[in-house]
């Protein structure tokens, strides 16, 4: 407070996330004013053609933006700008997001979907975060061509830094400590899952299966639930960061390996609070998409337990079998995973298989 201005390329995203939340859930006028001023300052100091105006930044604000790549810096703000626009309808927010998007499509998220370390940068959370942000913007603007670019990267370049479980190496640097080669980051995993959900909502049916595999096989198992092994550290002078360490870390997310919490040969194991935010945010997005009820009927998208005013789903993973109870009339669509042998499925009266979905046109209402 009251010190010199400090620019951190990663904090533009986090700052706009915070301002959006204050505006959306507290109707905070100061946050709204600060967000608009932030957007105006970026418009003044950054150009899609020439990048940051370092001279004006330094003389007017005493700042020198140190952006290695567009992806690792300003582009990270697209997702928060989309959320902010949905609440405020700010034309400045949408305009800035679109300008950054168009720049990224020129040489970063290109048609063949390749990953380029020099262009994307080694900080993989920036790459996955921008990918999911571009998907959010494409969904908002309903421009299919933008979403096609996201899909191209998802299907191609993303595989250079991730595996089918959604694990993503924390940094793709070639010269890093070998002990970190198995270390991932749940923020990255969440970005992939959220992108998969968006792709599926726009017609590519296979991506719900990706999302469910990621949730069940990596994201949920990586949550810190067992805290019995954590020893209480000394608690001198009532230092808050040392208070109730075990209890405060229960439920946390961090930097897991593909096979467990602790990467082999890693010098440390971390569960950071900023990673918790990303993991929980992704789970919220998944919760919204577990089931859906619209003019086409009831859709069971992800096979988790869910109970709403319209439907009750008992997951086959936590019960003897999948059970669906309708609370409101409508057709029923249940996604069938690709690994299920449809011929071996228990027959449901009046059901048929349509586009890898179990379709029931006249399901009774409880």
Q: How far apart are CA 196 and CA 136, in angstroms?
A: 11
pLDDT of 366 > 80? The answer is no
Q: 205-241: per-residue pLDDT in tens?
A: 899 999 999 999 999 999 999 988 888 877 767 888 8
pLDDT of 67 > 60? The answer is yes
pLDDT of 364 > 80? The answer is no
Q: Which of 119-123, 185-189, 211-215, 269-273 is the least confident region?
A: 269-273
CB-based contact 217:303 (threshold 8 Å): no
pLDDT at 320: 93
Instruction: Please state the pTM of the whole predicted model.
Output: 0.94
pLDDT at 176: 85
- The phi, psi pair for 64, rounded to 5°, reads -130, 95
pLDDT of 1 > 60? The answer is no
For the residues 16-22, what does the mean pLDDT come to?
Answer: 97
For the residues 2-7, what does the mean pLDDT come to?
Answer: 72
pLDDT of 360 > 90? The answer is yes
Q: Where does the pLDDT of residue 63 fall: very low under 50, low under 70, confident under 90, or very high at 90 and above?
A: confident
Q: Where does the pLDDT of residue 177 fall: very low under 50, low under 70, confident under 90, or very high at 90 and above?
A: confident
Residue 64: both structure tokens together: 């020198």
175 burial class (0-12, 13-18, 19+ CB within 10 angstroms)? exposed
In the chain the first and final C-alpha atoms are separated, in Å, by 59
Q: Which of 11-25, 52-66, 117-131 is the least confident region?
A: 52-66
Ordered strands of the 306-307 beta sheet: 306-307, 311-314, 323-326
Q: How far apart are CA 248 and CA 57, in angstroms?
A: 40
pLDDT at 315: 97
Q: How far apart are CA 81 and CA 92, in angstroms?
A: 9
CA distances from 363 to 295, 298, 352 (A): 15, 10, 12
Q: How far apart are CA 304 and CA 14, in angstroms?
A: 30
pLDDT at 11: 84
Average model confidence (pLDDT) across the chain:
93
CA–chain centroid gap for 333, Å, is 26
**DSSP state string for 222-285:** TSB---TTPPPPP-GGG-GGGTTHHHHHTTB----BTTBSS-TT-S-----HHHHHHHHHHHHH
Q: 282-323: per-residue pLDDT in tens?
A: 999 999 999 999 999 999 999 999 999 999 999 999 999 999
The bridge status of strand 332-335 relative to strand 297-300 is: parallel
Q: What is the DSSP secondary structure assignment for residue 168, as one 8-state letter?
A: B
pLDDT at 359: 95
For the residues 169-187, what does the mean pLDDT come to?
Answer: 91
Q: How far apart are CA 305 and CA 157, in angstroms?
A: 33
Q: Where does the pLDDT of residue 354 fall: very low under 50, low under 70, confident under 90, or very high at 90 and above?
A: very high
Q: Where does the pLDDT of residue 158 fall: very low under 50, low under 70, confident under 90, or very high at 90 and above?
A: very high
User: With b meaning 16 or more CB within 10 Å and e meaning fewer, what string describes 13-39?
Assistant: bebbbebbbbbeeeeeeebbebbbebb
**Which is more confidently placed, 281 or 346?**
281
Residue 278: both structure tokens together: 């990303």
**Which is more confidently placed, 242 or 47?**
47
Q: Which of 141-155, 184-198, 240-254 is the least confident region?
A: 240-254
CB-based contact 280:296 (threshold 8 Å): no
pLDDT at 66: 74
pLDDT at 231: 84
Instruction: Report the percent of the chain where pLDDT is more than 70.
Output: 99
**DSSP state string for 188-212:** HHHHHHHHHHHHHHTT-TTHHHHHH
């Amino acid at each position: 407070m009251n010190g010199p201005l400090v620019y951190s390329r990663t904090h533009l995203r986090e700052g706009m996330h915070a301002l959006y939340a204050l505006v959306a859930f507290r109707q905070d006028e100061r946050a709204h004013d600060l967000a608009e001023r932030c957007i105006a300052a970026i418009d003044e100091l950054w150009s899609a053609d020439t990048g940051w105006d370092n001279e004006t930044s330094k003389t007017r604000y005493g700042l020198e933006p140190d952006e290695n790549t567009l992806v690792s810096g300003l582009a990270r703000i697209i997702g928060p700008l989309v959320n902010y626009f949905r609440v405020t309808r700010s034309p400045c927010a949408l305009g800035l997001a679109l300008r950054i998007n168009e720049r990224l499509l020129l040489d970063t998220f290109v048609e063949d979907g390749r990953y380029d370390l020099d262009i994307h940068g080694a900080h993989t959370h920036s790459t996955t975060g921008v990918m999911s942000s571009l998907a959010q913007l494409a969904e908002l603007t309903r421009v299919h061509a933008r979403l096609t670019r996201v899909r191209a990267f998802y299907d191609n370049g993303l595989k250079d830094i991730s595996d089918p479980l959604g694990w993503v190496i924390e940094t793709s640097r070639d010269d890093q400590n070998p002990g970190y080669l198995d270390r991932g980051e749940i923020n990255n995993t969440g970005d992939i899952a959220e992108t998969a959900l968006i792709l599926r909502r726009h017609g590519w049916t296979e991506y719900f299966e990706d999302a469910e595999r990621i949730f069940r096989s990596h994201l949920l198992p990586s949550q810190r639930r067992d805290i019995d092994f954590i020893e209480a550290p000394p608690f001198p002078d009532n230092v808050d960061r040392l208070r109730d360490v075990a209890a405060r870390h229960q439920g946390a997310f961090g930097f897991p390996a593909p096979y467990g919490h602790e990467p082999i040969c890693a010098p440390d194991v971390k569960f950071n609070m900023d990673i918790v935010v990303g993991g929980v945010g992704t789970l919220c997005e998944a919760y919204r998409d577990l089931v859906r009820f619209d003019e086409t009927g009831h859709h069971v998208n992800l096979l988790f337990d869910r109970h709403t005013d319209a439907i009750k789903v008992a997951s086959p993973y936590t019960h003897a079998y999948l059970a669906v109870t309708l609370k409101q009339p409508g057709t029923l669509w249940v996604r069938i995973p690709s690994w299920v042998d449809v011929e071996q499925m228990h027959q449901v009266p009046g059901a048929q298989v349509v586009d890898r979905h179990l379709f029931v046109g006249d399901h009774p209402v409880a």
